[in-house]
Amino acid sequence: MDKVILEVRAGTGGDEAAIFAGDLARMYERYALNRGWKFIVLDENRTSLQGYKTLVAQIEGQGALAALKNESGVHRVQRIPETEKAGRIHTSTVSVAIIPAVEAKKIEIKPRDLEISFARSSGPGGQNVNKVSTAVRIVHKPSGLVVASQTSRSQAQNRELAMNQLRAKLYGAEQEKEMAEVGALRKSQIGGAERAEKIRTYNFPQDRITDHRIGKKFHNIEKVLGGELDPIIKAFAKAN
């Protein structure tokens, strides 16, 4: 059973980037549910118009890593935003990172290296989240990494989900010998979210998705954003 950490972050483009981050987050959630995988939201920073500045989730399911590993990188969108009154096409970016979750025994984390704080959750969960400090934020002092989980009703569950994130990020950083930063694995995946760093372009006026790594074009963007990622995933499998 695979476990991966998904990070979706709005990049260049202001409100439209956040809106597209929301589109991609929902695309991955629908794809995961279509495959019968678990999709657990760990942390989120919502904006208006169903957008996200950041979404972090854990995906659990057979074959999840193999299917999603090529989603890492900068996704560029070209379309007329909902917020555009003059009808102009805007270009915005969203960064996506897929990080394999790591078993606890593979990496040692010393309790004294952790700074753990608790707060009332701002996410879903009913009345309970407004009464109990269930949200968990963990700072790994040696590396400066910060992880959080707030969407479970259980403080213990949020702590474990946050620790899963931390282990995955530390393992990636350890593999790349860069413990002082987020880690070259994650850094190489998400880049700086600049327009020129794109791995894939979603061109709405032409209803075309172009993956620049394999030189393939796909159509019916709305269907893909609805969770039908298999044509793209299968194209990568064939190319590899």
- Where do the domains of the chain lie, and which CATH numbers do they carry? 2-102+189-239 (3.30.70.1660), 104-175 (3.30.160.20)
Closest CA to 99 of 227, 196, 32, 2: 2
Q: Both ends of the chain: CA-CA distance in Å?
A: 22
Q: Is 175 left (phi over 0), alpha (psi -120 to 50) or beta?
A: alpha
Enter the tokens of residue 199.
């791995």
User: Do 143 and 131 meet the contact criterion of CB atoms below 8 Å apart?
Assistant: no
Are 133 and 155 spatial neighbours (Cβ–Cβ below 8 Å)? yes
Element spanning 137, H or E: strand 135-140
Pair 5, 165: CB distance under 8 Å: yes
Neighbour-count burial of 165, counting CB atoms closer than 10 A to its CB (0-12 exposed, 13-18 middle, 19+ buried):
buried
Question: For residue 98, what pLDDT is reported?
Answer: 92
Q: What is the pLDDT of residue 180?
A: 45
Cα–Cα distance for residue pair 160/31, rounded to 1 Å: 25
DSSP 3-state helix, strand, coil percentages of the chain (rounded to 5)?
35, 30, 30
* Mean of pLDDT values over 204-232: 96
DSSP single-letter state for residue 152? S
pLDDT greater than 60 at residue 184: no
pLDDT on residue 128: 44
* pLDDT of 225 higher than 60: yes
Greatest Cα pair distance in the chain: 56
Length of the chain, in residues: 240
The pLDDT value recorded for residue 182 is 47
pLDDT at 185: 58
Rounded Cα–Cα distance for residues 237 and 124 (Å): 37
pLDDT for res 179: 42
Of residues 104 and 239, more confidence is placed in 239
Q: Measured between alpha carbons, how far is 159 from 116 in angstroms, rounded to an integer?
A: 9
Decide if 209 contacts 218 (C-beta within 8 A): yes
| pLDDT value at 127 more than 80 | no
Flag whether pLDDT at 108 surpasses 90: no
**Of the ranges 60-64, 102-106, 166-170, 191-195, which one carries the lowest mean pLDDT score?**
191-195
**Buried/exposed 167-185: b ≥16 CB within 10 Å, e otherwise:** bbbbbbbbebebeeebbeb
Compare 48 and 221 and report the one with higher pLDDT.
221
Q: What are phi and psi of 208, to 5 degrees?
A: -140, 135
Strand partners, 9: 54, 95
Q: What's the CA gap between 56 and 211, in Å, rounded?
A: 23
Residue 91 makes CB contacts below 8 A (sequence gap 6+) with 12, 13, 76, 77, 78, 195
